[in-house]
Amino acid sequence: MVRSSSAPAPARAALRRVAGALALSGCLSPAPIEVEAILPNYPPVFPPERVTPPFEQEISYDPTVTTAPIEFEVAGITDADSADRVYWRWFVNYDARFNPYVAAVGVPGGRAQEPGGTSIRFSLDPCEELRNLSERALHRVEVLVSDRPFDEDAEDTVARNQTIADGAGQFRVVWFVSVDLSACPVTL
């Protein structure tokens, strides 16, 4: 009988005993690592059909036909994270360098989500509020909605008054309004 082993029989037996002891002692399998699950932050969402006026088209405002303000609304805002609150800011002709001003803000501390979704509104009277911008025929109205509070601006902030915490969920709705401001009634 021929064996093809290079180790002597007593060495092989000792090696088997050591391997068996290690296998039974659990030294070869690492202890389980406990990982804390990081849940994603889902952004707030809205049904586009519940936005008025529709944002897919330019809004034409004729001050010779109506003097009523334009009423903007985003309705049905929800967030999969039920504990998240809704924060928002409205802007008119926003420009980070030359016109970073907030036209309107949501309630301090945000608004708790409402059954059926949260609704936010903004009223714009073009003849009053855009009076000093008669050189422009097209105006931009936007709302920025977040599930976290807005941050204070730093000196190097690019999007002034629009900074939100890292990881915050957000969306933006933009409307374009065309108006001939020279057709607005003259007020004293």
By C-alpha distance, which of 55, 47, 101, 41 is closest to 76? 47
pLDDT at site 165 = 86
Peptide bond into 53 cis (omega under 30): yes
Count, residues in the chain: 188
pLDDT at site 36 = 81
Give me the phi and psi of 130, to 5 degrees please. -110, 5
Residue 131 lies inside a defined structural domain of this protein:
yes
Residue 138 lies inside a defined structural domain of this protein:
yes
pLDDT at site 4 = 44
**Domain total for the chain?**
1
Residue 1 lies inside a defined structural domain of this protein:
no
pLDDT at site 11 = 61
CA–CA distance, 122 with 52 (Å, rounded to integer): 11
Strand, coil or helix: what is 82? coil
pLDDT at site 8 = 60
Amino acid at 141: V
Give me the phi and psi of 20, to 5 degrees please. -65, -40
By C-alpha distance, which of 168, 175, 174 is closest to 86? 168
DSSP letter (8 states) at residue 88: E
Residue 35 lies inside a defined structural domain of this protein:
no
pLDDT at site 98 = 85
pLDDT at site 7 = 52
CATH assignment of the domain containing 128: 2.60.40
Strand, coil or helix: what is 20? helix
Within 8 A by CB and 6+ apart from 129, the residues are 92, 103
Residue 162 lies inside a defined structural domain of this protein:
yes
pTM of the model: 0.77
pLDDT at site 2 = 41
What is the dihedral sign for C-alpha 140, 146, 149, 154? negative
pLDDT at site 24 = 55
Domain of 92, in residue numbers = 48-183
pLDDT at site 153 = 76
Residue 31 lies inside a defined structural domain of this protein:
no
Residue 125 lies inside a defined structural domain of this protein:
yes
Residue ranges, the chain, pLDDT below 50 = 1-5
Residue 26 lies inside a defined structural domain of this protein:
no
